[in-house]
Amino acid sequence: MNKKNGFLSRPFFRIKVRISAILFWTLLVFIPLYPKFPLQSVTGTYVSIRIDDVVVAIAIAIWIAVQLKNGFPVLKERIFKLFLLYFLLGAVSIFSAILIGGLVDPKIALLHFLRRVEYMSLFFVAMDALKISTIGEMAGGIILASVGVFGYGMGQKYFGLPVVSTMNEEFSKGILLYLDKWTRISSTFSGHYDLAAWLVMILSLTPALVSYFKKLKVKLLLAVIGVINFYMLILTASRISFVAYLAGVTITLLFQRSFRWLPLVLGLSLFFGFQSKELNTRLAVSLKVIPEISQKIASLWGTPTGVSTPVPLEPTSTPTLSPVAAVTTPIPTNKPKIIIREVRTWPKPEEIEAAAARSSQIRFKVEWPRAIRGLLKNPLIGSGYSSLGLATDNDYLRVLGETGIAGLLSFFLIVFYLFNQAVNSIVRERNLVIAGFLGVLIGMLANAIFIDVFEASKDAFYFWMLMGVMYQLTNSKLKIKNSK
């Protein structure tokens, strides 16, 4: 009887494990493609629970069930202990902010904390899923997602497909926006910055996947995917993401020893990048304000004299239009969904320059000083999650302001551990496919200097899944499975 029960339990266990792998593949496709329609609003904030949260919760629940079946082997992993340390310090920061400082709304602070746990938990879902999945299956999911994101983005640009944005409280209710062909596309993402950050990850990984597969048709398919993703990145006209892409793809090519391809890839990227009038103008503006950037960063730790604090504007991590006339249709008051059409012509260079300068002023005069003030309230553990509002546009200052020096150090312990594992695997085992994931890590870290990418749900979900895959690939006991 015991043998029979054991025989029956093993297939059932394998089914549960296989389901976790299928869910992982589903998340690779579903997260980028499903627009951010709200499912349930949260009182006190315009952040909503969405269907992707439900799908992720199911994946995490199945992972926990499998862990329970095995006696929680993840507890033996050093990386899990580093994540746990980060979560514990975040919890301490919340309790301090609520019980001692009275700085945050307990419900909102807890929501912010749980969202971060949700994002980062997919690291372990992906890590375990790869034990029975393959690089080929992962690449297939990324290809499908890229094709879908590209198709919808082109539909927005040329065929009037709607945008679902979370750029402000009203839009986050699920309002559909119809934008003209000159608007920077966001595809299925909540804004062009979020789309650009996702594209940086995929583009940084693509060269490693091209080198990994041996079949010519697969290489060509991945190369085409790289081209269309790069085209979308140019259409977003995101300065920091373009620079982050250059950093990420450089790291990938260097660590996989593709020295001959590096000048060609960077040369073509720069050439075609500068063909974009809007991106070119924004990059030129950035070069003009480098002295101002240095001065503002140096003055953040003090109170600059003679500088007035402007009225906070919309966070720059969400899509904005150039300041030209817009025509809107009448908004019916008796319908829950509102259709708005934004109409504009191609922005003039001075309009782009004004928008880029405004973006810098928001950071330097509002968001970054606010993060510094949050840190100074409690340098060790910060002023608590949600104390800085919805945007800081610098994830490192955000971590410092909300969770203090302890929180930032614990976060970088995770990052440095992953980086070290990846480099060791490349150097010792010549596991060159990991170079692509290392490029993803560097590209994401570069983006985080000016964008809250670790709080952008689609980007955060994807990043931690890819890092889970990278970590599993660095495990010397794991044989990389794939039909090349």
Q: What residue spans define the domains of the chain?
A: 2-473
Tell me the sheet residues that pair with 48. 41
d(CA 447, CA 375): 22
Those residues whose C-beta lies under 8 Å from the C-beta of residue 177, and which sit 6 or more positions away, are 162, 163, 164, 165, 171, 340, 341, 342
Which DSSP state fits 180?
A: -
Asked if 214 contacts 265 with a C-beta cutoff of 8 angstroms, the reply is: no
Q: pTM for this one?
A: 0.83
Q: What tokens appear for 15 in the block?
A: 């089914």
**Single-letter amino acid code for the residue at 336:** P
Asked if 222 contacts 180 with a C-beta cutoff of 8 angstroms, the reply is: no
H/E stretch holding 38 reads: strand 38-41
Per-residue pLDDT of the chain in tens (484 residues, 90 and over written 9): 344 444 334 454 455 557 778 889 999 999 999 988 877 777 767 677 888 899 999 999 999 998 998 899 999 999 999 999 999 999 999 999 888 767 788 888 999 999 999 999 999 999 999 888 889 999 999 999 999 999 999 998 888 888 887 766 666 666 777 766 567 888 999 888 999 999 999 999 999 999 999 999 999 999 999 999 999 999 998 889 999 999 999 999 999 999 999 999 999 999 998 887 777 666 666 666 555 555 655 555 454 433 333 333 334 333 333 333 333 344 444 444 444 444 344 556 665 666 666 777 788 888 899 999 999 999 999 999 988 887 888 999 999 999 999 999 999 999 999 999 999 999 988 888 999 999 999 999 999 999 999 999 999 999 999 999 999 999 855 444 444 4
**Helix (H/G/I), strand (E/B), else coil: 306:** coil
d(CA 127, CA 83): 14
Which DSSP state fits 39?
A: E
Distance from the first to the final alpha carbon of the chain: 43
Neighbours of 292 (CB within 10 A): 13
d(CA 410, CA 83): 8
Q: For residue 327, which phi and psi values (nearest 5 degrees)?
A: -115, 130
**Cα–chain center distance at 240:** 13
C-alpha distances in Å from residue 359, one per residue of 139, 185, 318, 356, 451: 36, 18, 11, 5, 11
Tell me the sheet residues that pair with 38. 50
- Determine the pLDDT at residue 225: 97
Q: For residue 315, which phi and psi values (nearest 5 degrees)?
A: -55, 140
- Determine the pLDDT at residue 390: 77
Closest to 28 measured CA to CA, from 162, 175, 173, 142:
142
d(CA 367, CA 387): 12
C-alpha distances in Å from residue 92, one per residue of 107, 108, 349, 410, 455: 15, 15, 48, 13, 20
Asked if 269 contacts 247 with a C-beta cutoff of 8 angstroms, the reply is: no
DSSP conformation letters of 246-291: HHHHHHHHHHTT-TTHHHHHHHHHHHHHTT-HHHHHHHHHHHHTHH
**Torsion from C-alpha of 232, 356, 394, 207, nearest 10 degrees:** 30
